[in-house]
Structure 1
Amino acid sequence: MPEARSTVVVVTWRGRAHIRECLDALAAQDRAANVLVVDNASDDGTAELLSGQNVLRLPRNRGYAGALAAALPRIETEFVAWLNDDAVPVPSWIATLEDALDRHGDAAAVTSSLELPDGSVQSVGVRLTADGHGADTALAGREVFGFCGGAALMRTAALRSVGGVPAGFFCYYEDTDTSWRLRLRGWRVISVPARVVHRHGASSRLGSSKFHHWNERNRLLMLVRCAPLLVALEQLARFVAVTAVLPFRPPDNAKNFRVSLRLGVLADVVWRLPSALVFRARTAATARVSRRELWRIWAGR
């Protein structure tokens, strides 16, 4: 059997109800790939279910980003894939992704076509909105700004060269942040029809207070780390301004517009700001494409 060129990292936390289907799909791939399961200190019997698998067990839950970061030093293959534990790839998945990177030598990452169980398309990649959000796009047939971290393949050396995975994000926006840094280094990100059925939200509580905290915090930190400085400052100022006027507006039931949550986000961002600025300077020192140019090309596209 040919030596595997890819290692698929599957992060799980209390994934007993769905991870077996994911692992069975990886075992049925048309092309050999190594599989590394990172168990985020599951306490629901997942550990027992993973008997016989190549498993990295963490002593505490480090989130999706933290688990991916913990796995990266163990990767010895040319390519590394990120795959959600509630995602089920078709048998040709890894072969399609590898072949795409072989065809496109200027691409560091290739993203999959994620479909919901009802057959509708969830994501074929990430677009950059006019105000700096990373958002799933379902528009196939065009180049994408970034990859969706639920199912993607990267060149391991390229990922390491741009600083790896932002472990402190815990979860959400680690993919868009990484895409920014790859593009700043001059790499492309491409999308191919490598199908993956995704039980979206099976592994996390979408819409929870923690979800909104991580989403809002990580977007702002990503902009500080990667975007043009004026964009980052504008979005920070906008977040502060909206938070300041909320007590004087009619109540909004949306959790991301709760003053207490937004104040917590701001406190978290301020605490992490020094390290984000240091990282920004390091990224700028090795960038081959300007932040302004990337913003001009991709924001709002």
Structure 2
Amino acid sequence: MGGIPMTAADARTAGRNDIDATTVTVVIVNYNSGPWLGRALRGLARQSVQGFATLVIDNASTDASADICAAFDRVELIRSDTNLGFASANNRAVERASTEWIVLLNPDAIPLRRWLERLLAEAQRRPDYAIFGCTQLCAHDRHRFDGTGDEVSALGVAWRKRYLERRERIPSGPVFSVCGAALMIRRRDFLALGGFDERFFCYAEDVDLCFRANLRGLRCWHVADACVLHASSTSTSHGVHPFAIYHGYRNLLWTYIKNMPSALLPLPLLGHASLTLLKALLAGDSAARIAYLRALYDAWRGSGPFWRSRAAERAHHTLPVSKLVRQLHWNPLDIPGRRPWRTARRQPPGAA
């Protein structure tokens, strides 16, 4: 697979032998991913740094995708008798691992050769950051971005930055949130945060994790030249799946209820409700329309535990509200021009 030209950072790290990949466990949650899982594992086998552990947890797939693991050395497969969901399966895998770093990788995210090397090199240079994301390119058109981190709006939605935009060289830098399809985090920080919220099952669990991390002073960094090819559609047919709509919009509202400081909370509550109703009104088919409406109804009906957990979450907050305000996206005119990424993604590996 083609990479991207060597950068100044690459020139500094070329030939270095102090990048220790044995400090990493790569976790893949698989659910009916078909041949994509094999492509992801081949991408890992071709990495420029080796010695990392690979742990695949299969969520009771009904296809033969998990059997692909037998063709690869140093890949541990755990089969679950039930579909645990993306959040819970990742939590179980992280608990089982013992390395300093955890890398979460979707089976439909194929890493380019120097992906892990670049993540680890950036982590060495920036020890004050806890979570590292990477550039996602469209698997079917690597001249377009699939995402360069997540934009989190003060109005109750989130989307992938630069989604489907033409590929260009972009700088690495701080972001508020990174996509869970391919991210690296210190294991101790993941555990201290409580991992993914298993009540979400799947979708928005990465936004929620990064939101909590930021509020606790654990920052996220986007590594621009660490690239994966991301398919985003391994588990359903083309189009926005009602499953994705439902879980995405339900879970985003729970994310804001859990995490947004009280002074700012009315904005995302009103914004999320308004945008969800607008999406339902504009939906092209009845299944999608029902999914939006169910998401909003069930999010409010099931919000009690999230309201009650706000005090416990606030006890860990160290980020001043003034700094949070500067990190959120505020321009409402940007939202229609950028697809909120929770509706752009289809049903992921690990979903029901």
Return the match for 2:65 from 46, 51, 60: 46
d(CA) in 2 for partners of 1:272 and 1:162?
Answer: 22
Partner SS for 2:136: strand
2:221 pairs, out of 164, 179, 190, with 190
How many pairs does the alignment contain? Answer: 298
Q: Which runs of 5+ in 1 are unaligned?
A: none
Q: Does 1:289 find its partner at 2:319?
A: yes
Summarize deviations over 1:20-68 as a string: whole Å, max 9, x none: 0101111222222111101010011123323363112222222222221
Aligned residues of 1:80 and 1:153 also touching (Cα < 8 A): yes
Residue of structure 2 in register with 1:168 after alignment: 199
Partner of 1:7, secondary structure, is strand
Q: Residue 77 in 1 paired to residue 108 in 2?
A: no
Question: Tell me, what secondary structure is at the counterpart of 1:228?
Answer: coil
Moved more, 141-150 or 284-293: 284-293
CA-to-partner distance for each residue in 1:230-276, whole Å, 9 max, x for gaps?
544443345556778999x7x74266972x43442234223432321
TM-score by length of 1: 0.88
Match of residue 34 from structure 2? 16
Q: Does 1:30 align with 2:48?
A: yes
Q: Identify which of 276, 279, 299 aligns with 1:269.
A: 299
**1:102-121 correspondence to structure 2 within 5 Å:** 102-117=124-139, 118-119=141-142, 120-121=144-145
Instruction: Go from structure 1 to structure 2 and tell me whether the alpha carbon gap of 1:178 and 1:49 turns closer, same or farther (over 3 Å shift).
Output: same
- Residues 246 and 135 (structure 1 numbering): CA distance in 2 closer, same or farther, change over 3 Å? closer
Between 102-111 and 163-172, the greater mean CA deviation after superposition: 163-172
2:148 matched to which residue of 1?
124
Q: Which moved more, 1:45-54 or 1:283-292?
A: 45-54
The answer as to whether partners of 1:126 and 1:145 remain within 8 angstroms in 2 is: yes
SS at match of 1:4: helix
1:208 aligned residue: 241
- How far apart, in 1, do the equivalents of 2:218 and 2:291 lie? 36
Q: Structure 1 CA distance, aligned partners of 2:253 and 2:35?
A: 33
Percent of aligned positions with the same letter in both sequences?
A: 27
Task: State the distance in 2 between where 1:30 and 1:246 align.
Answer: 44
Q: Do the aligned partners of residues 135 and 238 (structure 1) sit closer, same or farther apart at CA in structure 2, a change above 3 Å counting?
A: closer
Distance in structure 2 (CA, Å) of the matches to 1:246 and 1:116: 25
Of the structure 1 ranges 26-35 and 261-270, higher mean CA displacement relative to structure 2 is found in 261-270
The 2-side partners of 1:19 and 1:243 are apart by: 33
Contact persistence 1:66–1:169 (CA under 8 A): no
After TM superposition, the structure 1 stretch with the greater mean CA deviation from structure 2, 104-113 or 3-12, is 3-12
Give the CA RMSD over aligned residues. 2.7
- Provide the secondary structure at the position in 1 that maps to 2:78: strand
Residues 233 and 46 of structure 1: CA distance in aligned 2, closer, same or farther (over 3 Å): same
| Deviation of the 1:129 alpha carbon | 2.3
* Aligned-partner Cα distance in 2 for 1:245–1:294: 27
Which runs of 5 or more structure 2 residues have no equivalent in the other structure?
A: 1-16, 163-167, 332-352
TM-score normalized by structure 2?
Answer: 0.76
SS at match of 2:307: helix
